[in-house]
Amino acid sequence: MQIIDALHLTATAGYCTLLWTVQILVYPQMAQVPQSTFSSYHERHCSRILWVVAPLFLFEGVMAVTVAWLSFTATPMLQSLSLGLFIAGNALTFTVFAPLHFQLSRSRNERLLQKLMHLNWVRTGLESLRLVVVVLISVQ
């Protein structure tokens, strides 16, 4: 179980680090891209970041389910919280962030960029809290 817990922690820490990088670096830089080059910049961003996000997302999801399956009875409250935070963060990704990026792919919009940056604090906060929960699970 120690190896599985370590993999779970690694996956969650990796995804959390990615979200912090996006929050602190990527989205603020995106907001500085001028209208004339924004569409091509955004297209490159989306196609390239997918190669980082998708494996981390899948790795974290597989590990979250695996750990919950194998040790739910040992830590039911923490496992439920961990899975709930995972689901909430990814529900935001698919219902809020993907549509925002789709809208931004058509043209630069200051209001949408600001919304993206502000709402990403929620997603980053959820994942940060999830990381704390996963640490607690792994030390049980």
Put simply, whether the predicted model's pTM sits higher than 0.85 gets the answer yes
User: Do residues 71 and 79 make contact, with C-beta atoms less than 8 angstroms apart?
Assistant: yes
Per-residue model confidence (pLDDT) at position 68: 85
> Chunked in runs of 10, what are the mean pLDDT values of the chain (140 residues)?
89 97 96 94 95 94 90 83 94 95 93 96 97 92
Per-residue model confidence (pLDDT) at position 1: 66
Phi/psi class of residue 27: alpha, beta or left (left: φ > 0; alpha: ψ in -120 to 50)? alpha
Buried (b) or exposed (e) across 7-18, using 16+ Cβ within 10 A? bbbebbebbbeb
Three-state DSSP at 49 gives helix
Per-residue model confidence (pLDDT) at position 18: 96
Q: In degrees to the nearest 10, what's the CA dihedral of 52, 58, 61, 64?
A: -80
